[in-house]
Amino acid sequence: MNRINTLFGIKYPVIQAGMIWCSGWELASAVSNAGGLGLIGSGSMEPEILRIHIQKCKKATTKPFGVNIPLLYAHAEEFIRIIIDEKVPVVFTSAGSPKVWTPVLKEHKIKVVHVVANVKNALKCEEAGVDAIVAEGFEAGGHNGKEETTTLVLIPLVREAISIPLIAAGGIATGRGMLAAFALGAEGVQIGTRFVAATESSAHIHFKNVVVSASEGSTDLTLKNMVPVRLLKNKFYNELFQAQTSNATREELLEILGKGRPKLGMFTGDIDEGELEIGQAVALTDDIKPAGTIIAEILAEFNKALKEISQID
Amino acid sequence: MNRINTLFGIKYPVIQAGMIWCSGWELASAVSNAGGLGLIGSGSMEPEILRIHIQKCKKATTKPFGVNIPLLYAHAEEFIRIIIDEKVPVVFTSAGSPKVWTPVLKEHKIKVVHVVANVKNALKCEEAGVDAIVAEGFEAGGHNGKEETTTLVLIPLVREAISIPLIAAGGIATGRGMLAAFALGAEGVQIGTRFVAATESSAHIHFKNVVVSASEGSTDLTLKNMVPVRLLKNKFYNELFQAQTSNATREELLEILGKGRPKLGMFTGDIDEGELEIGQAVALTDDIKPAGTIIAEILAEFNKALKEISQID
């Protein structure tokens, strides 16, 4: 038992990342039932949809689960009201300041975790009173930091700077990756990409199939001058890449981005025209399996890899 | 003892990267005397200078050491003749095909290691008969791969693909980083950036001072459309960045790059106008110390961090 297990009241320090269009109540409850912490990704939901997912999740598991909220989203305040109302035990916040909502959530005995990509923001989180921090490296899928610090370098830097529990994210999909994160000083891992290919993920089967067949070099961190985001290199990405190479204006880029591209790709399954957010760990994700099996395999590999390493004298 | 120790006949599986303008005979022999494997970085040397460094290194240590050769350099063939002539026991090759010189070197009982940044080239190396592979992630300093795969993701992919010994590189500067690399399946680590700040490194003291004061976000992988290289963000880098942002032609970029910029920065100590090649591990490098002390600290931290991790059940 480490501080992450104790904090959330979970058996294994494995957190399934809250991901738009992929992690609804089915995935979150499956992960929580398997002993990890499942997160509902609210970023692609309307408030009443979020409420339904929370209610279904509560019916599907008696174990703790959480909701991820990107604080810059228009519905953030309403989400928080629903979460308090529905007595969700854990909230992961990202993309915004931890100062505003952390005290409100903690007043309602909700555990608060904030996601950062650098030491500066980790220190701000600790000051704001969050219970734990997720530090997410360059290899992570979706939105990402501007410093491009990789998980291998970021985790020990954040570990050194803060004293509250630390969860590593970015590039972790296997037991070996989890063990590496622990070696670097993390007490838990947040895993996204691997769970996109979980049976219970609400990603469209076309997207899941692309995820299990992708390999190294299949993703790129793009839109660096706007909002850096790691995407799978599909037709839509190529258009975006070309536009940036020919110095498209912000307006032109916004037009290419359009509206609803993430839903189109990840949920509706248009893998050419849709925006497919995914991490470099896609190269380590080779099959579609139930979330419980994924967790069991990660833990078995963690223990096996740990046994194989000896002290150096 | 693992396969890397046995292969090179060294006490600790810690390899000091061959780095232009930083790793001459003084650094290489200090690392080898401390039980690691020191490499002379030939990429910034004329052939007769390399011969002098090899001869001085042989006088300074009775332990095995090696030379790193970027195969695309004009002097590569001459370097190899000198290495055979001087009976250097180990050669690390990079930037070029392992097919041409591996058989020649092995015929002279020289151990050959090649540096790669993706699985495809790792497989080519194994086919070419090299003795071991260095897989180097996105966070590494200097020249780098186009896929941008980070060490955390790259090492398990290469480990899975090949059966010969694997050395991890990129972002490793501490015992925790080394333990993470072992968790991912590496049997040795190649460390560059941390050794730039070794007392025995031939980097100019101005460059060493910049290295120990730099932090996260201080480096960037630039020149992605020509030869990707990770540099410290100084005045020279900023000019290069501006030129690329305004779509400078290849010729314009070559003019900015000029000649002798790496020497100017790293060896002569002009930290504004020089090209400073360095990895993200710069953020984990905080002091100038003898190479032997650096190695002892890395090993002590490795052992301590390993003790702190328990099996999960």
Tell me the two tokens of residue A307: 């046994």
Domain parsing of chain B, residue ranges: 3-202+281-304, 215-280
Confidence of residue A247 (pLDDT cuts 50, 70, 90): confident
Q: What is the pLDDT of residue A225?
A: 86
Distance, CA of A284 to CA of A218 (rounded, Å): 12
Q: What is the pLDDT of residue B309?
A: 97
Please list the residues that pair with B116 across neighbouring strands: B135
Query: What is the C-alpha end-to-end distance of chain B, expressed in Å?
Result: 29
Give the closest-approach CA distance of B215 to chain A in angstroms: 9
Q: What is the CATH number of domain A3-202+285-305?
A: 3.20.20.70
SS3 call for A10: coil
Please, which residues have CB within 8 angstroms of residue B204's CB and are 6 or more apart in sequence? B266, B267, B268, B269
SS3 call for A177: helix
**Would you give the distance in Å from CA B297 to the centre of its chain?**
19
Give the closest-approach CA distance of B311 to chain A in angstroms: 5
Q: What residue spans of chain B are helical by DSSP H?
A: 3-8, 25-33, 47-60, 76-85, 102-107, 119-128, 151-161, 175-183, 193-196, 205-213, 235-245, 250-257, 261-262, 291-308
Q: Is the pLDDT of residue A274 over 80?
A: yes
ipTM: 0.97
Residue whose C-alpha is closest to residue B51's, from B71, B72, B67: B67
- Which chain B residue has its CA at the smallest distance from A159's CA? B176
| B278 vs A: CB within 8 A | no
Q: What tens digit of pLDDT does each residue of A115-150 get?
A: 999 999 999 999 999 999 999 999 999 999 999 999
Q: What is the pLDDT of residue B123?
A: 98
With a CB-CB cutoff of 8 Å, which residues 134-173 of chain B face chain A?
Answer: 137-139, 146-154, 156-157, 170-172
**Region A286-308: what's the mean pLDDT?**
98
Give the closest-approach CA distance of B110 to chain A in angstroms: 26
Name the amino acid, one letter, at B121: N
> Which of A12, A138, A183 is facing B183, going by the closest CB pair?
A183
CATH class given for the domain over B3-202+281-304: alpha beta
Q: Do B151 and A152 touch (CB under 8 A)?
A: yes
Look up residue A282 and give its DSSP letter.
G
Q: Do B150 and A148 touch (CB under 8 A)?
A: no
Q: Is the pLDDT of residue A240 over 90?
A: yes
Residue whose C-alpha is closest to residue B60's, from B36, B18, B30, B37: B30
| B184 chain-A contacts, CB cut-off 8 A | 176-177, 180
With a CB-CB cutoff of 8 Å, which residues 87-126 of chain A face chain B?
Answer: 118-119
Q: What is the pLDDT of residue A14?
A: 98
Q: What is the pLDDT of residue A245?
A: 87
Strand pairing category for B166-169 and B142-143 = unpaired
| A156 chain-B contacts, CB cut-off 8 A | 174, 176-177, 284
| B149 chain-A contacts, CB cut-off 8 A | 139, 216-217, 280, 283
Q: Phi, psi at residue B198, to the nearest 5°?
A: -75, 150
How many A×B Cβ pairs under 8 Å? Answer: 150
Contact A132, A167 (CB under 8 A): yes
Tell me the two tokens of residue A150: 């990789």
| A222 chain-B contacts, CB cut-off 8 A | none
> Which of A177, A220, A312 is facing B303, going by the closest CB pair?
A312
Distance, CA of A170 to CA of B241 (rounded, Å): 27
| B292 vs A: CB within 8 A | no
Give the closest-approach CA distance of A176 to chain B in angstroms: 5
Share of chain A above pLDDT 70, in %: 100
Q: Is the pLDDT of residue A230 over 80?
A: yes
Residues of chain B with pLDDT under 70: none
Give the closest-approach CA distance of A65 to chain B in angstroms: 20
| A176 chain-B contacts, CB cut-off 8 A | 156, 183-185
Confidence of residue A246 (pLDDT cuts 50, 70, 90): confident
- Evaluate if pTM is beyond 0.95: yes
